[in-house]
Chains A and B, each alone.
Chain A
């Protein structure tokens, strides 16, 4: 499998079913992932801060650094690559409260709130999320399957389990 590394404050989208998007050492930062299982489009962003600065040049130079610019940008790029918003599965990880991060400037918590705010604004909801706490995380998403794996610094590995798609309509018509 081809590994595509998403750096801190960066993001990217792939249509290569053999690719794995990876981002390392999520502390207070948040990784948001989008996956369209039909179009096999996968995107990931590793944002650092909840809000972009007022200055347009600063916002434009690092749009993936801030949740309020990163999330709509990732969504736009994924849709441009062929993803359908109605099919998108959303995953998130990170937002930990790291050492020396006191409660007044709890960037991890603020990043988590910014994530939820943005998802709500764009009519999205996370299928699965591993956020908050104090643990640093590394995240991998397989573009082909959409499976997401997390890893701790100690090497423990676990999968983020998505809610599956809705069942086919039943005879009484109570679900799609």
Chain B
């Protein structure tokens, strides 16, 4: 699969997940906002690697409120972090399902990163940033084998 195709897969996965379970949408590619919350999920199977998501704090709060059906000011930092982790989990699953429809994958539990992770030296690495409500979301896929 070409980098262009991988890019399309990431974009499609972001749209699917945000629209279906967060009632939100990706507004188009952009430059990432600084800082924010970051979470990662490792996957193993036909391919192995990591999906990482970084999201602006305001966007994380907005998405968490939508996901839980609550008002933003009623949410705790823990809930927001857990929603970011679940968002990462779903994006990982959605991305993998789009470029490997038949293989089974095992996913690790998503983990919130205290510091922004540096890019690994994995053979395949692709990253895209999208504008969303109140900020940006950056999705990265790193795999130790070419797709």
Contacts and interface: CB of A to CB of B under 8 A. Distances in A.
Interface of A: 104, 109-110, 113-114, 116-117, 120-123
Interface stretch (B22-30, B77-85, B98-106): B22-30
When A and B form their complex, which 7 residue pairs have the shortest distance between CB atoms, in order from nearest? A117-B23, A121-B69, A113-B23, A120-B69, A116-B23, A117-B66, A113-B25
Nearest to A123: B69
Interface residues of B, number: 9
A113 B27 contact: no
Instruction: Describe B's contact surface by its main secondary structure.
Output: loop
A104 B69 contact: no
21 contacts: A104-B27, A104-B28, A109-B25, A110-B25, A113-B19, A113-B23, A113-B24, A113-B25, A114-B23, A116-B23, A117-B23, A117-B24, A117-B66, A120-B23, A120-B66, A120-B69, A121-B66, A121-B69, A121-B70, A122-B69, A123-B69
A109 B28 CA distance: 15
Given A113-B19, A117-B23, A121-B70, 14 more contacts: A104-B27, A104-B28, A110-B25, A113-B24, A113-B25, A114-B23, A116-B23, A117-B24, A117-B66, A120-B23, A120-B66, A121-B66, A121-B69, A123-B69
Contacts of A109: 25
A109 B18 CA distance: 13
Contacts of B24: 113, 117
